[in-house]
Amino acid sequence: MSVAEKNLPEEVRQSVDEAWPLFVDFLKKKDARVTQARKIVLTQVFSRHDHFCADDLAAQLSSGMNHVSRGTVYRTLALMEEAGLVRVIRDTDVHAHYEHTFNHPHHEHMICDSCGQFIEFTDDSIMELIAQACKRIDFKERTHRIVVFGTCASCSEKNA
């Protein structure tokens, strides 16, 4: 365990310890290299609890003890998405934002057009409607994303 990993909160360290072997297996099946740089990216992703852009993560990792190249960040995020460890959410400008999904319950998003805030929500009735629609046409769902665009309460008050 690196010095940086020792300083992580326990829940982050535990998630990394559980997810890393799964990611390694995924990488090996794809004949992709298993590297310390990829572990650093995975660790930093799991340390974040926001909806971040790849550029922000690349900037965070651009210098210091855990330096990782911009290209490695982008390639690792793409592999993590394919492995089901992160999810991509696109805003109205089609910017890709990421969030880690490992050990997190499925949820949907609302994005404020004014301030860009991401609001997470769950709704069992929406999940049930999706399940019913899939069953009706014998469709095997792998995943889904619902993003609702509009104006948050704060921005609505400011514009009132």
Residue 57 predicted with pLDDT over 80: yes
pLDDT tens, 100-136?
888 888 888 999 999 988 998 999 999 999 999 999 9
The class level of CATH for 1-104 reads: mainly alpha
Where are the domains positioned within the chain? 1-104, 105-160
Burial 55-79 (b: 16+ CB within 10 A, else e): eebbebbeeeebebeeebbbbbbeb
Q: Give the residue-averaged pLDDT of 81-96.
A: 86
CATH number for the domain formed by residue range(s) 105-160: 3.30.1490.190
pTM attached to this predicted model:
0.79
